[in-house]
A and B are shown apart, each in its own frame.
Chain A
Amino acid sequence: MGNSSGSKGIPMWAAGVSVGAFLLLAAVFAMNLLGNAPANDEIPKLSPEYADTATVRKVRKEMTFDGAPCSSCHEGTEPLQGDPREKGVFHEKIEIKHGRNQHCFNCHNRRQPADFSNFDGTPIKLADVQLLCAKCHGTTFRDWNNGAHGRRSGHWDVAKGGPKPATCIACHNPHWPVFKPLKAAPAPHVNPRTRKSARPGAEHGGHE
């Protein structure tokens, strides 16, 4: 090998810049001066009500009014007449918004107030209330039977027990069947770095 240091040296200042640059970088890295990504936004905790599988209405096992069974007032076997909403304190507060079905005894049984009434007056038990609704809502009843309408719990697999359809009144108030609006669960979190939310005040990750 010839001359070991080479014919050309490096100016001191250039050497200094080079070595200095590396050492400066080492310091920047060691002290993490360039930082990491910003921390995640706060996201409110999941409220358990939004994962609750209960139906919107609780279904009663028995027909009662204010806790008392119907027979405590209606003892006789004479068929009830007139409009119950004009009969005094017990039934006048009932509001009916059932489309054109404004007549109480279309559903309720005149002779057995604890039951409902079929077309021919024969009773329908509370436990079979879907037969009552089927009197007018035949197509819905058909769909409820074959699964296209209404909630089902249990199993899709018949071998494991099969589905258990929820009864009509588990979701629909018979006097006001239209499904009442629910409060929606919170919207997906919007990362303010990536989009402006369409909603005012939403950039702070919360909901009104």
Chain B
Amino acid sequence: MSEEQKPEDGAEISRRAFLAAAAAAAVTATAAALAPMKDLADLPSLEEFLRKHYTELTPADKAAIIARISEQVEKKYGVKPNLTDPPPLDGVEFGYALNIGRCIGCRKCVFACVDENNQSRNPEIQYIRVLEMKKGSIDVETSNTEYEGEVPKKDSYYMPVQCHQCRKAPCVKACPVKATWQEPDGVVVIDYNWCIGCRYCIAACPYGARRFNWQEPHIPADELNPEMGLLSNRPRPKGVVEKCHFCLHRTRNGKYPACVEVCPTGSRKFGNLLDPNSEISNILQNKRVYVLKEEVGTLPRFYYYFDI
């Protein structure tokens, strides 16, 4: 019926017949338009879909979720994970300091983080960005993130940037569904199962610290880190935001974040701000300390210092 004969003058079909034919064709076209949906691999289960916000989960809910995610990870990667949900420690507020006089820009922190936190390799997600800055300026616009070769280079200094876990975090203000919030120990966390992927938080962040999963993340199974935290480095789904979380599956168990441990020059310092004897407290009391983009008023927990 779709052949187009040369119309004679006044050749018509009735409206009804036309509507029937057109409707049938339109329905066919609509069904065909939906064809790509057959490739949909990972529809959430009903319980995953109806899952409550992290802060409203009962211990039983959490146990079920941990079991479910562990099972999914094992199925996908063939590795049995040790997925925990360490609570924040009492009397602890994390702080981080970076010795900007000593950083040589080797980027080992970037890769230790990627290794530790199960970030997607392709598309590439890296929480830490190291900026090669021109001496004499802290204007990030003149910086370069694409340097390679031997470091440090002359006339440059290096400033790595990652999530500053701000006390007045613009991302926490921006999120319409409270998928990101500040925990009592200072870490700004994301509930990966609550995030709707609107990316308003990415627009809000003054430090470019947040990353989005533009597609299903890809981690080679042999590079998966099985030590996982529910709010930190468990593998994330497509379509959600992630960022540095001070390795809270490590730090809430007393360890250093991966970036601190790997830094060859010892430029990274981490500890409890509420402990007056911790290395971070010492630095803040005795060294020349500043924060990035202080005028935006974010009150970060991440400080830059240099030796005197």
Contact = CB atoms under 8 A, between A and B. Distances in A.
A104 interface: no
A46 B112 CA distance: 10
Give me the 3 closest cross-chain CB pairs, A-B, nearest first.
A147-B279, A160-B254, A9-B12
Given A29-B32, A53-B262, A152-B256, A13 B146 contact: no
A13 B7 contact: yes
8 contacts: A5-B14, A6-B15, A22-B25, A143-B307, A148-B286, A149-B266, A186-B107, A188-B145
Nearest to B149: A184
A125 B192 CA distance: 53
B35 A32 contact: yes
Contacts of A150: 266
B10 to A, nearest CB: 8
A156 B22 contact: no
Given A19-B2, A143-B307, A152-B256, A181 B151 contact: yes
Given A16-B4, A187-B146, A156 B123 contact: no
Contact of B11 (A11, A157, A187): A11
A32 B38 CA distance: 12
A10 interface: yes
Contacts of B4: 12-13, 16-17, 20
B35 A155 contact: no
A67 to B, nearest CB: 27
Interface stretch (B54-62, B77-85, B114-122, B237-245): B114-122
Given A18-B18, A26-B28, A156-B271, A146 B279 contact: yes
Given A16-B4, A182-B264, A184-B150, A22 B22 contact: yes
Nearest to A181: B150
A46 B256 CA distance: 22
Contact of B108 (A50, A139, A161): A50
B5 interface: yes
A197 B148 CA distance: 12
A20 B270 CA distance: 67
Q: Which of A25, A26, A153, A163 neighbours the largest number of chain B CB atoms within 10 Å of its CB?
A: A26
Contact of A148 (B107, B272, B307): B307
Nearest to B271: A156
A188 B264 contact: no
A32 B272 CA distance: 56
Interface of B: 1-5, 7, 11-18, 21-22, 25-26, 28-29, 31-33, 35-36, 89, 99, 104-108, 110-112, 114-116, 121-124, 126, 129, 144-152, 220, 223, 251, 253-256, 258, 260-266, 269-272, 275, 278-280, 282-283, 286-287, 305, 307-308
A155 B112 CA distance: 17
A185 interface: yes
Given A46-B115, A150-B266, A171-B265, A51 B108 contact: yes
A190 interface: yes
Given A16-B3, A148-B283, A184 B254 contact: no
Given A6-B16, A22-B28, A171-B266, A29 B35 contact: yes
Contact of B13 (A12, A26, A43, A50): A12
Given A30-B32, A171-B266, A188 B126 contact: yes
Contact of A151 (B115, B148, B263): B263
Given A6-B14, A154-B256, A23 B28 contact: yes
Given A46-B115, A198-B144, A156 B3 contact: no
A179 interface: yes
A15 B145 contact: no
A155 B271 CA distance: 9
A19 B29 CA distance: 10
Contacts of A129: none
